[in-house]
Amino acid sequence: MNYPIRINKYLRDIGLASRREADKLVEDGLVFINNKRAKMGVLVNNGDKVVVNDSKKQYRYLAYYKPRGLATQDLPGKKSVITEWKDKGLYPVGRLDKDSEGLLLLTNDGRFAREILFQSSKYEKEYLVTVKETLRPGIIQIFKKGMETKELGKLLPAKAKILNKTKLLIILNEGKKHQIRIMLDNLSYNITSLKRVRVGNIEIGNMKSGETRLIDFNTILL
């Protein structure tokens, strides 16, 4: 998230409400920033404490298998996870790029979204990755000590396990944009498929593309 950011866009991006709904929450005096009632158009800075006192809201939490080829965020005139779910009042927690598939969490609870997004080091994200080339054993140690990349700088140590000559599991404790794709590209691998299979304690299990299932708020919060 790029700061400073307008309050209505902030509430939308963390999955709490659409911009219009966010404006109504601010107008009704239900939004507080650093314990002060927010005003329309106010900017949120990194580290600000944002609280929404909407006791009537019924919170929902879903595990969703995002299909490959579907963008997470809004693209003008194109279908996305947001356009599919915003009419139901649900928004994605974070992103999963268009060419990737797998587990994406959906919610209308900003507290839940903030916990996952801003405490990402607490919630491992596990990916199943297939590449064209034969995997070299040394990749495990390269990930373990933390890669240095031109695009993203120094990365946190990551876990990896080679499953066969072209397939591996990768576990991250951070979520930088296109991180796995950049890591493997830096090592001269070409990805043919990338699937997120776990976030924290939530696993994709035997879900199929496009399916959802209800999850318990307390299941994922460690």
Tell me which residues are annotated as active site.
97
Tokens of 133: 């080339």
Q: What is the DSSP letter of 184?
A: H
Tokens of 193: 């498929």
Residue 2 buriedness (CB in 10 A; 0-12 / 13-18 / 19+): exposed
Three-class DSSP category at 64: strand
Q: How far apart are CA 89 and CA 119, in angstroms?
A: 24
Amino acid identity, residue 62? L
Those residues with Cβ within 8 angstroms of residue 82's Cβ, 6 or more apart along the chain or in another chain = 72, 73, 74, 91, 92
Whether 49 and 35 have beta carbons less than 8 Å apart is answered as: yes
For residue 49, how many other CB atoms are within 10 A of its CB? 10
Q: How far apart are CA 202 and CA 206, in angstroms?
A: 12
